[in-house]
Chains A and B, each alone.
Chain A
């Protein structure tokens, strides 16, 4: 089993975010602080303690005073008793690109070959609790040697065992949650097996050829893109939300809108990709463009696009999709205009988009569920659980009311005041 290493990112910077003046004791990899922490901290945050400025990293949140901790290389820290003074609790990097540039250095993994280092790198992204500044630097993730268990995972902690406060969007663009908001192509993924989970990704630029997530520079294989918002904001011509190359990718539970060109294109990928439970809305040309063998599209809404909602043939096994025009592939798919059915999103207005389903939506209960198709993801964009033989089409599983369990911070689950 590889070791997990954790480094946090926040545009707030590396300033101290601890609460009070705690001391720390460590026993068998569990750190106990003398003062409950209420700040914007969690996995990946660095605890600097003692006269020697020892550095350890949070691997899990047990409570406001108890944290599983690891060393920079994923090892178990030495026990500490009696208690020592905590000098600071801070984020490791101020931008995701700095984390990408730095995680292989001598202070961290100290290797670009993650299979040799035998580590899974977790880059946990936090919002700027001070003034909500977004992470404004474009990111290129490449140059690491990876495999199916030792790779780079970029994600937003969701509360619970991951962080004191929820860092993830609420299924729509959400202030006070981590966001990559860039004027250039936002995220260029080049490493095999990379995972991007739960990010808000937005390109704000009138220039042409901007992309949200771009895999064509290095054509990696087996990338996972799950539960992200991929948004074009006033972007120029031929801009695209997600552009794939390579093979074996999983694109699931994403909401993609605002792009001048295609929402998502797999035109140049080598196939064997899975597109499951995505929602693509009113991008300028096509919603989902595919031209690859062996790929599959299931439970995906592409609706209201400039030219066609789906384009590029009917990949084998694709079904239970939803388009406004007649292009959704599969015998059980819905063609909204012809079938007089609508997805009934909460809000499609520019700037207030919310692609959760209303109770009247024809996407509710008309998709195939995970018990009938194991390719259907069991969590939706909000962390709500899909189950059974049928489910909803699109990124959102309709829930009548109330918070979703997976998105609920641990202190709410525990009945503790926030």
Chain B
């Protein structure tokens, strides 16, 4: 049993109504001025941890480019840039989103999520289907990078 806190309005640059702010257990009260501009979505069935896992954003990792020709040593730091993992592709993360994911939920979705009779797997599948990875909203984040080698750690 969980509650998802969503932005109800776009408030700052880079935000969108429906951006996921946090996930809590259903025993946590979420009211007052702090939540006056938020929308609370009730989710029956899955645990808080399962809902959080379903709403994770894409993996992000660094890649590096040496400033020296291949096989030559240098004291220069390699250049580092972040990429995000899009299936089999790695794409430059040029404009990180303020919030990793967004949920676009219809009235029917809200009813299904709050219905204790909905199968847990179906609930998680619905969340996954309605999840929008905000990194995809920026065309600047859609450039694939071809990696010659991958260094696991600098």
Name A residues whose Cβ lies closer than 8 Å to a Cβ of B. 7, 11-15, 46, 48, 55, 72, 90-95, 97-99, 101-102, 104-108, 112, 130, 133, 136-137, 140, 142-143, 183-184, 207-209, 216-217, 237-238, 261, 267-268, 285, 291
Classify the secondary structure of A's interface with B: loop
Task: Please give, as numbers and ranges, the residues of chain B lying within 8 Å of A7 by CB-CB distance.
Answer: 34
Chain A min CB distance to B128 (Å): 17
Answer yes or no: B38 CB below 8 A from chain A CBs. yes
Answer yes or no: B108 CB below 8 A from chain A CBs. no
**24 sampled A-B residue pairs with Cβ under 8 A:** A11-B24, A11-B28, A12-B28, A13-B29, A14-B29, A14-B32, A46-B34, A91-B34, A92-B34, A93-B35, A94-B29, A95-B5, A95-B22, A97-B21, A98-B5, A101-B7, A137-B21, A137-B52, A209-B61, A217-B82, A217-B96, A237-B152, A261-B153, A267-B77
Task: Please give, as numbers and ranges, the residues of chain B lying within 8 Å of A112 by CB-CB distance.
Answer: 12
Task: Please give, as numbers and ranges, the residues of chain A lying within 8 Å of B21 by CB-CB distance.
Answer: 95, 97-98, 101, 137
Contact of A143 (CB < 8 Å), options: B12, B35, B62: B12
Contact of A14 (CB < 8 Å), options: B30, B48, B61, B154: B30
Task: Please give, as numbers and ranges, the residues of chain A lying within 8 Å of B60 by CB-CB distance.
Answer: 209
With contacts A104-B11, A209-B60, A209-B61 taken as known, whether A133 is within 8 angstroms of B25 at the C-beta atoms is yes
The answer to whether A99 and B34 touch across the interface, beta carbons within 8 angstroms, is: yes
Task: Give Cα distance in the complex from A11 to B22, angstroms.
Answer: 11
Chain B min CB distance to A35 (Å): 21
Answer yes or no: B140 CB below 8 A from chain A CBs. no
Answer yes or no: B88 CB below 8 A from chain A CBs. no
The answer to whether A15 and B62 touch across the interface, beta carbons within 8 angstroms, is: no
Task: Please give, as numbers and ranges, the residues of chain B lying within 8 Å of A12 by CB-CB distance.
Answer: 28
Task: Give Cα distance in the complex from A287 to B13, angstroms.
Answer: 37
Task: Give Cα distance in the complex from A140 to B22, angstroms.
Answer: 12
Tell me the chain B residues, 70-99 only, with Cβ under 8 Å from chain A. Answer: 77, 80, 82, 96, 98-99
Tell me the chain B residues, 16-66 only, with Cβ under 8 Å from chain A. Answer: 21-25, 27-38, 48, 52-53, 56-57, 59-62
Name B residues whose Cβ lies closer than 8 Å to a Cβ of A. 5, 7, 11-15, 21-25, 27-38, 48, 52-53, 56-57, 59-62, 77, 80, 82, 96, 98-99, 152-154
The answer to whether A14 and B11 touch across the interface, beta carbons within 8 angstroms, is: no
Contact of B24 (CB < 8 Å), options: A94, A142, A238: A94
The answer to whether B32 and A90 touch across the interface, beta carbons within 8 angstroms, is: yes
The answer to whether A143 and B13 touch across the interface, beta carbons within 8 angstroms, is: yes
With contacts A105-B37, A238-B152 taken as known, whether A140 is within 8 angstroms of B48 at the C-beta atoms is no
The answer to whether A143 and B98 touch across the interface, beta carbons within 8 angstroms, is: yes
The answer to whether B77 and A14 touch across the interface, beta carbons within 8 angstroms, is: no
Task: Give Cα distance in the complex from A105 to B9, angstroms.
Answer: 10
With contacts A208-B61, A267-B154 taken as known, whether A107 is within 8 angstroms of B33 at the C-beta atoms is yes
With CB as the reference atom, state the residue of chain B lying closest to A103.
Answer: B34
Task: Give Cα distance in the complex from A242 to B82, angstroms.
Answer: 17
Task: Please give, as numbers and ranges, the residues of chain A lying within 8 Å of B34 by CB-CB distance.
Answer: 7, 14, 46, 91-94, 98-99, 102, 107
Chain A min CB distance to B80 (Å): 7
With contacts A94-B28, A140-B98 taken as known, whether A14 is within 8 angstroms of B35 at the C-beta atoms is yes
Task: Please give, as numbers and ranges, the residues of chain A lying within 8 Å of B61 by CB-CB distance.
Answer: 208-209, 238
With CB as the reference atom, state the residue of chain A lying closest to B9.
Answer: A105
Chain B min CB distance to A216 (Å): 8
The answer to whether A136 and B77 touch across the interface, beta carbons within 8 angstroms, is: no
Chain A min CB distance to B60 (Å): 7
The answer to whether A140 and B23 touch across the interface, beta carbons within 8 angstroms, is: no
The answer to whether B28 and A105 touch across the interface, beta carbons within 8 angstroms, is: no
Q: Which of B32, B53, B80, B82 has the most A CB atoms < 10 Å from its CB?
A: B32
Task: Please give, as numbers and ranges, the residues of chain B lying within 8 Å of A92 by CB-CB distance.
Answer: 32-34
